[in-house]
Chain A
Amino acid sequence: MGSISSEQQKQLLSKIATNQGHGENSPYFDGWKAYDNNPYHPIRNPKGVIQMGLAENQLCFDLIEDWIRRNPQASICTTEGVKEFKDIAIYQDYHGLPAFRQAVANFMGKVRGGRATFDPNRIVMGGGSTGANELLTFCLADPGDAFLVPSPYYPAFDRDLSWRTGVQLLPVVCESSNDFKITKAALELAYEKAQEAHINVKGLMVTNPSNPLGTILDRETLQTIVSFINEKNIHLISDEIYAATVFSQPKFISVAEIIEEEDVVCNRDLIHIVYSLSKDMGFPGFRVGIVYSYNDAVVNCGRKMSSFGLVSTQTQHLISSMLADDEFIENFIAESANRLATRYKIITRELSKVGIGCLKSNAGLFCWMDLRKLLKEATVEEEMVLWHMIIKDVKLNVSPGSSFHCTEPGWFRVCFANMDNETMEEALERIQSFVRQSEEAPVPAARSKRFKGNLQLSSKSRRMEEAIMSPCIMSPHSPLVSART
């Protein structure tokens, strides 16, 4: 049975299959390899790597499980629910179960405190927000077109928005000097650059609340953005998958609210929201992605496209029951926010004890931690060095800012909602020890020689380098999937 060389494979397979568009050769994934090889366990492996690179919401499963127990009819497999099994199993209408769309629209409104209402007929399904983002891109842009994306941004956008679509991402650079706010000047600059390069900009993608910053867009910024996209006649895609993770003031403002304002002039055909239950509810496995567009043609086309990534009707059925329970949902949203707020307070307090600051934020499942003063030099290389130290010596997997396309080295995203209290404590103690050690023991000469000038890599670094650049041959237990967060 023949086998073929990798050159032959290149011709045998598509360009998409053989390029790097899947993005998995980014160093972002190395942290997971380290975690995967040596995962922390309080008893079995107390010295293992603690996973803080995964933006998961694990804080409220007690509430959810309690609801599940009290609502057996929500499942098509219980005695109470099995009479619906057949109808659900054969239902493949890409409109989705009407009850599902109703419940999702209802939930989206509640998450926004009732300040916006959503039309169930505009709810379109996608294969998780991963599929939803790609679907919207296919609807709005042609290969070679571009979206502007404020940086720092979620790394997997490079795959989700670009890989199979052929659409480019052009960063709108945001800086720490003004807390990474999106400014009119930055938007205009990015747009100008595209014009000069003869790149056709079709839209602007914002993530609000932001991943990785954890901040929300204020009213002024939202109005600036809406004004900008209307002036340029380009689309606005607002990825609001962290909407319910807002845990303290100020309140979240959705683009859905802005376009209803009297003094706002907006062509609604340009406005689209991406949503999901992966972060707000903690259900990434259920692949509930949503495209909500104010543009009828996009709803129609998106709906046809959703055939490629519909939500399992078994899951639609469960979700439609859960999200239609107003009392449960209201309680859940409030409790989830409280628990996130508590985590955030703890982590920022403990970090500040060792003089580590985070960007002030009020949403998300993470902090944007400022380790710039621990860098020898403000370079990406030094950020990588620090990061590898954190993984190998501190045994924490945090995510380096460069993987989020942050232009200022030294920022790290630290997730805090994917572990229990004890693990969080352990992780914070390790960080505190590390910071204190760094302060007490300035880098030994040998080490600084190794990294000076960034020209010569030690054999150790070279091995790391190879690990980063080598083709990804994954074990069946690869955690790379987690990289989607």
Chain B
Amino acid sequence: MGSTSSEQQKNLLSKIATNHGHGEDSPYFDGWKAYDENPYHPTKNPDGVIQMGLAENQLCFDFIEDWIKRNPQASICTTEGIQEFKDTAIFQDYHGLPAFREAVAKFMGKVRGERVRFDPDRIVMGGGSTGANEMITFCLADPGDAFLIPSPYYPAFDRDLRWRTGVQLLPIICESSNDFKITKAALEMAYEKAQQANINVKGLMIINPSNPLGTILDKETLQTIVSFINQKNIHLICDEIYAATVFSQPKFISIAEIIEGDGSCNPNLIHIVYSLSKDMGFPGFRVGIIYSYNDEVVNCARKMSSFGLVSTQTQHLIASMLSDDEFIGKFIIENSNRLATRYKNIRRELDKVSIGCLKSNAGLFCWMDLRKLLKEPTLQEEMVLWGKIIKEVKLNFSPGSSFHCYEPGWFRVCFANMDDETMEIALKRLQKFVKRSKEKRCGSKEEILQKQSSAKHLIS
């Protein structure tokens, strides 16, 4: 029974299968490997690596589980719900359960404080936001075309938007000097570069609220962006999967709100990607959504959604949960509050050791500034620092370079995927590390006193 060499495999399999488009050779994943091999546990492995590289929202499961207990009809497996088992199990219409679309549209509106409404008929399913982002790319761009994307950005976009689609990503560089805001100048520059390189730009992808920054786009920036894409006649894809993680002022402004009042914006260029992975904490359920203002895109994407429909068992549950107005109203507020508390906590403790973060009001993470801990502002030094943080401090953060950040020394630290006790321990470890790093640079207090007393000896 034969087997094939890796050279032969290269010919046997597709280019896509044998290139690195899956992105998993990025150092971003090394942190996980360290965590997987030595995961922290309060009693079983208290010296293990604490996972702070996973943007998960684990703060409100008590709320959700309470709702589940009170709503057995939401499941097709309970006594109350089983009469719907068959119809649900055989339903494979790519439009999705009408109740599911209704509930998602309603939830999206609520998350935006009812400042805008969503049409259930424009809701299209995707295999998580991973599948949704890939799908919208397939609809809007051909192989070789490009999307512009502000950096720093979510690493897996390199895979989601490019791997199987053949579309390129061109960064729009954002800098700490103005809090990483997206400027007209930066947009124009990125577009120019593409023109010069004869690359066809088909769209601009923004994440709002931002991963990894945790900031939201202000009205002026959104208007600049809308103006830009209309002028260039390119698409705008707004990944708003963190919309309900906004935990303090200013309020979130969705692209949906901007275009409602704007007669000069071509709605055929506007598309929103959504998901329940971050806002609800349900990444396992693979509830990805495309919401497009372009009818053709809705039609095409709906056909494509066959490749990644949401399980009807899950659609059924979500339809029930998200249409419970009272529950949802409370959840959104409570979720915000708990995130705000975590954020305040982590900022305060980091302040104590003079570590700053970019001021932010959303997301499940902080964008931490460790530039002063670098020997030199280089990528290599960032990697050295990161290696230390994983090995010695036993914390898995994500280095800014994995987010295509151009300035070394920034790290994304997730804070919503653990309980309070673990958070405390993580912060203590970090504080210790920072203090040690400072002492190493300046010498420890004992060393200084010793030097001084030796000097005295020499003198006297």
Contacts and interface: CB of A to CB of B under 8 A. Distances in A.
Q: Do A and B come from one complex?
A: yes
Interface of A: 1-4, 9, 12-18, 22, 24, 56, 58, 61, 64-65, 68-69, 72, 74-79, 82, 85-86, 88-92, 127-128, 130-131, 134, 138-143, 145, 159-160, 163-164, 202, 233, 235, 259, 265-270, 278, 282-287, 295, 297-298, 301, 304-305, 307-315, 318, 472-474, 476-482, 484-485
A61 B4 contact: no
Given A69-B79, A138-B164, A282 B89 contact: yes
Interface string B90-115: 11111100100000000000000000
B77 A61 contact: no
A282 B90 contact: yes
A24 B69 CA distance: 43
Given A295-B9, A478-B93, 5 more contacts: A128-B92, A131-B127, A282-B90, A314-B311, A318-B313
B446 to A, nearest CB: 46
8 contacts: A9-B296, A13-B300, A56-B90, A269-B12, A285-B92, A312-B285, A314-B313, A476-B121
Interface stretch (B132-140, B216-224, B451-459): B132-140
Interface residues of B, number: 91
Given A127-B131, A267-B3, A305 B307 contact: no
B286 to A, nearest CB: 5
A72 B78 contact: yes
Interface in B287-334: 294, 296-297, 299-300, 302-304, 306-314, 317
A285 B311 contact: yes
B86 A2 contact: no
Given A74-B77, A90-B58, A17 B139 contact: yes
Contact of B68 (A58, A82, A140, A318): A82
B13 A265 contact: no
B15 interface: yes
A160 B308 CA distance: 12
Given A14-B142, A77-B317, A315-B313, A310 B286 contact: yes
Contacts of B145: 14
Nearest to A135: B307
Interface stretch (B265-273, B356-364, B367-375, B404-412): B265-273
A16 B138 contact: yes
Contacts of A64: 85-86, 89
A187 B111 CA distance: 57
B42 interface: no
A476 B98 contact: yes
B185 interface: no
A460 to B, nearest CB: 28
B29 to A, nearest CB: 11
A127 B85 contact: no
Contacts of A85: 61, 64-65, 68
A136 to B, nearest CB: 10
Interface stretch (B16-24, B245-253, B389-397, B421-429): B16-24
Counting chain A CB atoms within 10 Å of each CB, which of B4, B12, B277 scores highest? B12
A9 B268 contact: yes
A451 B92 CA distance: 38
A482 B85 contact: no
A483 B424 CA distance: 55
A141 B14 contact: yes
B215 to A, nearest CB: 25
Interface in B196-234: 202, 233
B357 to A, nearest CB: 25
A88 B65 CA distance: 12
Contacts of A268: 1-3
B130 interface: yes
B171 to A, nearest CB: 22
B284 A313 contact: yes
Contacts of B74: 77
Counting chain A CB atoms within 10 Å of each CB, which of B300, B304, B309 scores highest? B309
A142 B14 contact: yes
B285 A313 contact: yes
A307 B284 CA distance: 11
B95 A79 contact: no
B82 interface: yes
Given A85-B68, A138-B164, A481-B93, A308 B317 contact: no
Nearest to A131: B307
Given A85-B65, A269-B12, A312 B138 contact: no
A408 B12 CA distance: 35
A75 to B, nearest CB: 3
Interface in B4-61: 4, 6, 9, 12-18, 22, 24, 56, 58, 61
A252 B269 CA distance: 52
Contacts of B6: 297
Contacts of B286: 310-312
Contacts of B233: 12
